[in-house]
Amino acid sequence: MSDIKEITEALIKFRNERDWEQFHNPKDLALALNIEAGELLENYLWKSHDKANIEEVKEELADVLAYAFLLAEKYGFDIKEILLEKIKKNGKKYPVDKAKGTAKKYTEL
Amino acid sequence: MSDIKEITEALIKFRNERDWEQFHNPKDLALALNIEAGELLENYLWKSHDKANIEEVKEELADVLAYAFLLAEKYGFDIKEILLEKIKKNGKKYPVDKAKGTAKKYTEL
Amino acid sequence: MSDIKEITEALIKFRNERDWEQFHNPKDLALALNIEAGELLENYLWKSHDKANIEEVKEELADVLAYAFLLAEKYGFDIKEILLEKIKKNGKKYPVDKAKGTAKKYTEL
Amino acid sequence: MSDIKEITEALIKFRNERDWEQFHNPKDLALALNIEAGELLENYLWKSHDKANIEEVKEELADVLAYAFLLAEKYGFDIKEILLEKIKKNGKKYPVDKAKGTAKKYTEL
């Protein structure tokens, strides 16, 4: 079984044991993901990037990923597929010869 | 090779071809993840969860996942491991007998 | 003295008494605002809009406003002026005859 | 009329002319605020705080403030009152003698 499938099954088992599917509509999953993303960000507030507490980053990042995986599962998205497709698409928005070494948005290249 | 490793390698290859590692410190990766989480959320604004544009959700979710994978890679986190650990930890915060069928936060159970 | 000036002065006094200006650069203020916006959002997670705890909404909204006022002060923006200008600008993006009764984004009108 | 009342009335007038009150429930207003906070944050991505485009910061901050004011109005909160109350409350969480010169969270003081 793939890693992603194994993680997703563990998340779904956890959710179903608690009868939480009733709350997990896509809109609220997207809210939950945003809330966790904010908690992740809090680890970097008022400090430089190397001063974050790595254990807390790990936990908050796991929360973000959990909701991202649950949202993907809700729509039946294949995570590997949608990521590889997005990378391909971004390759057109950010061609190497224009994007190399610059952090500009594609609209400004 | 695992799915997660394959995705991560594709993301790193994309980043390195553009010489973007210089911008990808953990703090800015966490910012990027938050910005993409906001764009994902926009698909649900002013509407019920079943009215979102699924193609756009797919793209924004892929962006969120991309930054989450890059941040994990930056710290050397094993995504499967940190997720399975978090699920275990959440199992203690949300024991089935108390958490079943309720959306309350663990601090209120 | 205007309400906004009075609030801003109270925020600056609070900050200066604690010698916090050194941390309050615009980037971190924008991070702080995002983190508080996430905490505000948490009050609506897994529930309909009328089930939020109003006292907690009040506190989180105050936090969001505090960082928004501090960021405006940092740049010397006049809050009334920038809001009235934005309303005027949005009036062109969303003309009444096209936008009335629809939640569509201006790019789709 | 106070500045805050004048801004709020302009926002409500704009909303009502477009018949948008039907969309503006507190949950979606909190979503909108988060989305705009993310757009504000984007101005600081991959760069130091002094490299942001000030005109764009101004516009995104105005959007954040607009939704914050609309949410306050929805609950009948007096913005000056809730901010002055929050500052008082934070004064107890962050007493000057403990908080001076440190960016630690109150839970760590």
Residue B23 maps to which CATH number?
1.10.287.1080
Q: Which residues contact B91 (CB under 8 A, 6 or more apart)?
A: A14
Structure token pair of residue A25: 């509509």
Amino acid at A45: L
Binding-site residues on chain B for chain D (CB distance < 8 A): 23, 28, 31-32, 34-35, 37-39, 41-42, 44-46
Q: Does B54 share its domain with B90?
A: no
Q: Does A44 share its domain with A28?
A: yes
Structure token pair of residue C83: 């809001």
D76: left (phi over 0), alpha (psi -120 to 50) or beta: left
Confidence of residue D29 (pLDDT cuts 50, 70, 90): very high
B29-52 per-position pLDDT tens digit: 999 999 999 999 999 999 999 999
Residues of B in Cβ contact (< 8 Å) with A101: 18-19, 22
Q: Does D82 share its domain with D102?
A: yes
Q: Does B83 share its domain with B72?
A: no
Residue holding tokens 């190399």? A100
Q: Does A35 share its domain with A55?
A: yes
Rg for chain A (alpha carbons), in Å?
17
End-to-end alpha-carbon separation of chain A, Å?
Answer: 42
Instruction: Return the percentage of chain A with pLDDT > 90, whole number.
Output: 95
Structure token pair of residue C72: 């405006």
Under 8 Å between Cβ of A26 and A74: yes
Q: Does C52 share its domain with C92?
A: no
Q: Does A11 share its domain with A49?
A: yes
Under 8 Å between Cβ of D103 and C20: yes
Under 8 Å between Cβ of D68 and D33: yes
Residues of D in Cβ contact (< 8 Å) with B32: 45-46
Q: Does D106 share its domain with D89?
A: yes
Q: Is the pLDDT of residue C1 over 90?
A: no
Q: Is the pLDDT of residue A21 over 90?
A: yes
The span from the CA of A48 to the CA of C27, in Å, is 11
Given C28, C38, C39, which is nearest A46 (Cβ)?
A: C28
Which residue, D52, B34, B66, C69, is CA-closest to A43? B34
Q: Does D22 share its domain with D44?
A: yes
Residues of D in Cβ contact (< 8 Å) with B38: 34-35, 37-39, 41
The residue-averaged pLDDT of D81-99 equals 96
Helix, strand, coil share of chain B (percent; to 5): 70, 0, 30
Under 8 Å between Cβ of C56 and C43: yes
Name the pTM for this structure.
0.97
Q: Does A67 share its domain with A93?
A: no
Whole-number average pLDDT of chain C:
97
Across the C:D interface, residue pairs with CB atoms under 8 Å apart total: 181
Q: Is the pLDDT of residue D77 over 90?
A: yes
| Chain A residue whose CA is closest to C26 | A46
Residues of A in Cβ contact (< 8 Å) with D31: 31
Which residue, D84, D42, D81, D80, is CA-closest to D63? D42
Q: Does C57 share its domain with C109?
A: no
The span from the CA of B42 to the CA of B30, in Å, is 19
Under 8 Å between Cβ of D43 and D56: yes
The span from the CA of C77 to the CA of A75, in Å, is 43
Given D26, D40, D58, which is nearest C77 (Cβ)?
A: D58
**Looking at residue A1, what is its pLDDT?**
83
Q: What is the ipTM metric for this complex?
A: 0.97
Under 8 Å between Cβ of D72 and D82: yes
Helix (H) or strand (E) holding C43: none
The span from the CA of D96 to the CA of D54, in Å, is 32
Which structural domain range is residue C82 located in?
78-109
Lowest mean pLDDT among B15-19, C1-5, C72-76: C1-5
Under 8 Å between Cβ of C36 and C60: yes
Q: Does D87 share its domain with D66?
A: no
What's A91-106 look like in SS3? HHHCCHHHHCCCCCCH
Domain count, chain A: 2
How far, in whole angstroms, is CA D78 from its chain's centroid?
14
CB–CB of A23 and C37 under 8 A?
no
Instruction: Return the percentage of chain A with pLDDT > 70, whole number.
Output: 100
Structure token pair of residue D52: 């942001």
Residues of D in Cβ contact (< 8 Å) with A103: 45-47
Burial of A51 (0-12, 13-18, 19+ CB in 10 A): exposed
The residue-averaged pLDDT of A59-86 equals 98
The residue-averaged pLDDT of A38-61 equals 97
